């Protein structure tokens, strides 16, 4: 269970998040929507312990966010900017991050992790991969240490429909089969509507809320 209570974030005098509260259960996929600059990335970074909230509290499995070091083993964070070694192959990227990650995985396990997302270019250099393949690798690396809370910042931005579906299906399976808690942002409303159990609307703009209500989705009030 992830509990977010009265979370606020100011950058200087500028308020980005204002009293955000919601709970997420294991096995749930939560979508974060909102216009550009609404604070989606900021919320994900706070949940990933990469930034401190100005006020409010967060707990994951009843553990407070004070002890960052311990918490991070539970968290898989997929950055919005693709964070991989461009000069490596898929295999080298996976092996590199496995060596520095908590826990151990064999090469076969790493390969399977990629194949689960239909990333099959194991020996190929990253430079020859399509955008979709790179995004998949970006996700796979974040999953090496088997985190329970998955935070993905626009994991499917700018890639083809087939790759988007493959990534979406994979996330859904992670939630339903392994009970992971998944929060992710996207600007693709169709994707959000089909994939997410519930949705958090960030920001003041009523546009997204109206849209989601029409689609009959459950909106988490924040």
Ligand X SMILES: Nc1ncnc2c1ncn2[C@@H]1O[C@H](COP(=O)(O)OP(=O)(O)O)[C@@H](O)[C@H]1O
DSSP 29: E
Query: Among residues 126, 128, 122, 125, which one has the least CA distance to residue 109?
Result: 122
Joined together, the tokens standing for residue 155 give 């994991």
Could you give the string, one character per residue 22-61, with x where binding to ligand X holds by CB under 6 A and - elsewhere?
A: ------------x-xxxxxxx-------------------
Taking CB under 8 A as the criterion, the residue among 26, 82, 165, 187 binding other proteins is 82
Q: Quick one: 97 or 208, whose CB is closer to other proteins?
A: 97
Could you give the string, one character per residue 146-175, with x where binding to other proteins holds by CB under 8 A and - elsewhere?
A: -x-----x----------------------
Please check whether residue 198 is in contact with residue 28, taking contact to mean a CB–CB distance below 8 angstroms. Answer: yes
Taking CB under 8 A as the criterion, the residue among 27, 59, 65, 92 binding other proteins is 92
Give one DSSP letter per residue of 111-152, joined into a string: HHHHHHTT---TTSBGGGS-HHHHHHHHHHHHTTT--SEEEE
How many whole angstroms separate alpha carbon 184 and alpha carbon 28?
11
16 binds, among other proteins, ligand X, Mg ion, none (CB under 5 to 8 A by kind): ligand X
Q: Quick one: 41 or 49, whose CB is closer to Mg ion?
A: 41
Q: Quick one: 142 or 163, whose CB is closer to other proteins?
A: 142
């Amino acid at each position: 269970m992830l509990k977010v209570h009265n979370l606020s974030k100011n950058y200087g005098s500028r308020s980005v998040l204002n009293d955000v509260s919601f709970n997420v259960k294991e096995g749930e996929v939560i979508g974060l929507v909102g216009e550009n600059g609404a604070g989606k990335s900021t919320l994900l970074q706070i949940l990933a312990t990469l930034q401190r909230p100005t006020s409010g509290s967060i707990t994951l499995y009843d553990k407070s966010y004070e002890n960052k070091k311990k918490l991070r083993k539970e968290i898989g964070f997929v950055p919005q900017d693709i964070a991989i070694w461009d000069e490596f192959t898929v295999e080298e990227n996976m092996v590199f991050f496995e060596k520095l990650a908590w826990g151990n995985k064999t090469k076969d396990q790493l390969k399977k992790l990629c194949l689960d997302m239909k990333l099959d270019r194991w020996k190929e250099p990253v430079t020859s991969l399509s955008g979709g393949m790179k995004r998949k690798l970006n996700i796979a690396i974040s999953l090496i240490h088997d985190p329970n809370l998955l935070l993905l910042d626009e994991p499917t931005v700018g890639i083809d429909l087939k790759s988007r579906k493959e990534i979406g299906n994979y996330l859904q399976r992670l939630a339903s089969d392994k009970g992971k808690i998944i929060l992710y942002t996207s600007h693709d409303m169709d994707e959000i509507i089909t994939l997410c159990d519930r949705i958090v609307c960030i920001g003041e703009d009523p546009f997204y809320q109206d849209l989601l209500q029409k689609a009959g989705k459950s909106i988490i009030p924040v």
